[in-house]
Amino acid sequence: MRIVEVEDPAGGGSRFLADGKPVDVSCRIVQAGGRMVCVFYDADLNLLYDPSAFVTREMLAVSENSVRQMATALKLLETFSKSIGVPFRQFSRTEASGFMQFLRGTLSDGASISFDLRTARSEATVGAYLKHVRSYARSLGCESSPFLERADSSWARRAIAGVAPLRLRATPAPEFEAPRYFSIPQYRSIREELHRRGDVAGTLLCRLMFEHGLRIGEALGLTTEDLKSSVERDGNIRHWIVLRNRATDRPWMKAKNLLDAKSEATYRSPEYRKRRVGYQSVYVSGSLFGEIADYAEVHHPSTSPECRADSVEGGEVNEYLFVSRAGRPLSASAWNKRLRSVLQAIEIPVDKGTRSTNLNHRFRHGYAMLLTNVLGCGEYEVMTLMRHRSIHSTEVYHRPTEEDVWRMQREIVGEIEEELFGGNEDG
């Protein structure tokens, strides 16, 4: 059997072919009966009940990012299961090993199954996906599933180390390093391209993410009610935006690490009105605030009831700030397609299929590097400005690219030679 991963002609992802036949498993998060549900279905639009019920149940208690990761893991699991024609409940060690190597993307040679994959995942990502698969197996009552075997068993050790009993061959994904963060010149190029396209909303989103460190969900969840300004005693004007979750928020609008609003009753709770628990304030420059206010008054094309958002301050009308050209709240998927198009136009690698260099997160990562490398902020200043709960979260951002390493090594080598030889390598 040969499983091939190809680019989806519709854009924004991949498709899989098993012996030349498409294996399409789709996943959508929709609203039904007043709540959000996750729906998996195959190419014939048949509902896949088990993964749908599992994610719908789990999404009530986990973050938006965890829901996306969980949905992706089970989508890949169902894709592999349908490709080999073996239901997940019947997976033996052989199928489990094949799936783990299928996730990795870089596989060993063999004759049982042949893979031609475009996406290579890190061990951290594979481990995160397998955590959800194990939870899924427990929920189905598959106590004999190989995914639930002790980690110190001989099979599990070989599988975790990438030496699985199933021999496979594959064409690895091409090796190149897409940037983990956007540099200042890259950011300027992105803004110039957005300006050329007349994309005012896109420009503002990028400014919020790169210049103030907002996550994409935090930015897309902003409403007109969240724009604040006041005159201080010294006469200066303070501008800020308020990050908070609302019951009307779509899944892609969630503000991370803040209280989730299940209903309007949440707005009256003491926790919801507590800073860093129910809300966070981000102070912004006067120029950015002015551009956002102008967009809200002049460019905001909202005429649809879909753009209405709950008012948590008792206002009569409140609307989501960023809207699509069709007059609906701008979704993460629609914005991602626009951003991907911009990056491709200015020849910045998009690194398809790799979450470690998430396109939008490159802005926030660029903000962190701007604070440390350009402005010289200390780690606790960066932690505060990034709105992290612990310094360990901030330390994750200190991951230099190959370009950074080359620059540091060049400078250090020069300093070493100066100390040892006085600038003369021959002494």
Contact by Cβ (8 Å): 166, 104:
no
Q: Looking at the structure, do residues 210 and 244 belong to the same domain, yes or no?
A: yes
State yes or no: pLDDT of 415 exceeds 50: yes
Q: How confident is the model at residue 200 (pLDDT cuts 50, 70, 90)?
A: very high
Q: To the nearest 10°, the Cα dihedral for 278, 284, 290, 293?
A: -10
Q: Does a structural domain hold residue 371?
A: no
Decide: pTM greater than 0.75. Answer: no
Q: Span 178-200, mean pLDDT? A: 90
How high is the mean pLDDT of the chain? 80
Convert the pLDDT of each residue in 207-239 to its tens digit. Answer: 999 999 999 999 999 999 999 999 888 888 889
Q: Looking at the structure, do residues 162 and 282 belong to the same domain, yes or no?
A: no
Length of the chain, please? 427
Between the ranges 61-75, 100-114, 167-181, 208-222, where is the mean pLDDT highest? 208-222
Q: Does a structural domain hold residue 415?
A: no
Q: Looking at the structure, do residues 257 and 312 belong to the same domain, yes or no?
A: yes
Convert the pLDDT of each residue in 267-276 to its tens digit. Answer: 999 999 999 8
Helix/strand/coil for 169: strand
Convert the pLDDT of each residue in 233-265 to its tens digit. Answer: 888 888 999 999 999 999 899 998 899 998 999
pLDDT of residue 83: 87
The Cα–Cα gap between 296 and 280 comes to: 21
Domain end call among 320, 350, 380:
350
Q: Looking at the structure, do residues 212 and 283 belong to the same domain, yes or no?
A: yes
- Return the minimum-mean-pLDDT range out of 128-142, 328-342, 403-417: 403-417
Q: Looking at the structure, do residues 30 and 164 belong to the same domain, yes or no?
A: yes
Contact by Cβ (8 Å): 397, 370:
no
Q: Span 105-119, mean pLDDT? A: 58
40 token code pair: 């998996």
Q: Looking at the structure, do residues 337 and 258 belong to the same domain, yes or no?
A: yes
Q: Span 187-191, mean pLDDT? A: 95
What CATH number does residue 325 fall under? 1.10.443
Q: How confident is the model at residue 157 (pLDDT cuts 50, 70, 90)?
A: low
Q: Does a structural domain hold residue 305?
A: yes
Q: Span 73-87, mean pLDDT? A: 90
Q: To the nearest 10°, the Cα dihedral for 404, 408, 414, 415?
A: 160
Angle in degrees, 0-180, between the axes of helices 200-212 and 361-369, rounded to the nearest 10: 40
Q: Looking at the structure, do residues 93 and 196 belong to the same domain, yes or no?
A: no
pLDDT of residue 398: 63
pLDDT of residue 427: 43
State yes or no: pLDDT of 62 exceeds 90: no
pLDDT of residue 58: 86
Domain end call among 137, 171, 205:
171
Q: Does a structural domain hold residue 397?
A: no
pLDDT of residue 250: 92
Backbone angles phi, psi at 345, to 5 degrees: -65, -35
Give me the domain span that covers residue 221: 189-350
The Cα–Cα gap between 10 and 1 comes to: 26
Number of Cβ within 10 Å of residue 58's Cβ equals 18
Q: By C-alpha distance, which of 88, 79, 8, 12 is closest to 40?
A: 79
State yes or no: pLDDT of 372 exceeds 50: yes
State yes or no: pLDDT of 343 exceeds 60: yes
Q: Looking at the structure, do residues 25 and 114 belong to the same domain, yes or no?
A: yes
Higher-confidence residue: 114 or 102? 102
Q: Looking at the structure, do residues 342 and 241 belong to the same domain, yes or no?
A: yes
Q: How confident is the model at residue 317 (pLDDT cuts 50, 70, 90)?
A: confident
Higher-confidence residue: 327 or 77? 77
Q: Give bridge partners of residue 329 from the DSSP assignment.
A: 323
Q: Looking at the structure, do residues 76 and 166 belong to the same domain, yes or no?
A: yes
pLDDT of residue 314: 86
Q: How confident is the model at residue 320 (pLDDT cuts 50, 70, 90)?
A: very high
State yes or no: pLDDT of 360 exceeds 80: yes
Q: Does a structural domain hold residue 193?
A: yes
- Return the minimum-mean-pLDDT range out of 45-49, 295-299, 313-317, 355-359: 355-359
Q: Does a structural domain hold residue 233?
A: yes
Q: How confident is the model at residue 350 (pLDDT cuts 50, 70, 90)?
A: confident
Q: Looking at the structure, do residues 195 and 291 belong to the same domain, yes or no?
A: yes
* Number of domains composing the chain: 2
pLDDT of residue 176: 43
State yes or no: pLDDT of 109 exceeds 50: no
Q: How confident is the model at residue 171 (pLDDT cuts 50, 70, 90)?
A: very low
407 token code pair: 């620059």
How is the chain split among helix, strand and coil, in percent rounded to 5? 45, 15, 40
Q: Span 17-25, mean pLDDT? A: 80
Between the ranges 96-110, 185-199, 285-299, 388-402, where is the mean pLDDT highest? 185-199
For residue 18, the 8-state DSSP code is E
State yes or no: pLDDT of 420 exceeds 80: no
Q: Looking at the structure, do residues 193 and 72 belong to the same domain, yes or no?
A: no
- The dihedral built from the CA positions of residue 39, 42, 47 and 51, taken in this order, carries a sign that is negative
Q: Does a structural domain hold residue 130?
A: yes
pLDDT of residue 113: 63
Residue 329 carries which side chain, given as an amino acid letter? P
Residue 407 CA from chain centroid, whole number? 29
Q: Does a structural domain hold residue 182?
A: no
Percent share of the chain, pLDDT over 90: 33
Domain end call among 305, 325, 350:
350
Pair type for strands 21-22 and 26-32? unpaired
- Return the minimum-mean-pLDDT range out of 100-104, 116-120, 380-384, 397-401: 397-401
